[in-house]
């Protein structure tokens, strides 16, 4: 298919696998959820959600999940941009990656907690690939509303957002 495939070993932080294909361009396809919604997928109201994620592929998946659930996603790519966004406009919830350039999730969370109300009480959901249970206290101590370990499903995300009032 006139493409390429490769891998890069990043030592202790994992590996990156990639491929490129020379495919024809077709019309845009809207994200869809072919599965019937579960109770966790049903939200009593649509939420305006700040998506803080530096990996554009993960950011796109989160946006597709949120749109499929009827929410209004607003993406930024680092903690510093998240603080600026929270200070500038109202959000119902934040999905915050933990490891990002410029400012990570825990540092950004501490700064959000230091803001005046209602920003300080904003429900922030930690997103991380770090599944080590012994590190969970770091996220609990920082005051996150909920915690999701990557990879997670749309149903798990919906369940975390369902408790946002």
User: How many angstroms separate the CA atoms of 118 and 97, rounded?
Assistant: 22
The superfamily CATH assigns to domain 39-162 is Response regulator (3.40.50.2300)
Confidence of residue 17 (pLDDT cuts 50, 70, 90): confident
Q: Would you say the pTM of this structure is higher than 0.95?
A: no
Q: Average pLDDT, stretch 27-37? A: 53
Sign (positive or negative) of CA dihedral 42, 46, 50, 53: positive
Q: Among candidates 138, 133, 128, 161, which has minimal Cα distance to 41?
A: 161
Q: Where are the chain's structural domains?
A: 39-162
Residue 118 is given by DSSP the state T
**pLDDT at residue 12 is higher than 60:** yes
User: How many angstroms separate the CA atoms of 97 and 87, rounded?
Assistant: 19
Residue 145 is given by DSSP the state S
Summarised one tens digit per residue, pLDDT across range 42-88 is 445 799 999 999 999 999 999 999 999 999 999 999 999 999 999 99
């Amino acid at each position: 298919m006139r493409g390429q495939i490769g891998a890069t070993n990043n030592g202790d932080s994992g590996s990156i696998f990639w491929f490129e294909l020379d495919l024809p361009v077709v019309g845009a396809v809207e994200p869809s959820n072919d599965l019937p919604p579960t109770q966790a997928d049903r939200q009593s109201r649509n939420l305006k959600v700040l998506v803080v994620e530096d990996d554009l592929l993960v950011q796109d998946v989160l946006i597709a999940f949120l749109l499929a659930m009827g929410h209004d996603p607003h993406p930024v790519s680092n903690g510093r941009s998240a603080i600026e966004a929270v200070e500038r406009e109202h959000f119902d919830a934040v999905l915050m990656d933990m490891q990002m350039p410029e400012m990570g999730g825990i540092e950004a969370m501490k700064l959000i907690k230091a803001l005046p109300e209602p920003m300080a009480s904003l429900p922030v959901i930690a997103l991380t690939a770090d599944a080590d249970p012994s590190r969970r206290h770091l996220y609990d101590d920082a005051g996150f509303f909920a915690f999701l370990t990557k990879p997670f499903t749309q149903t798990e995300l919906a369940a975390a957002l369902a408790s946002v009032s």
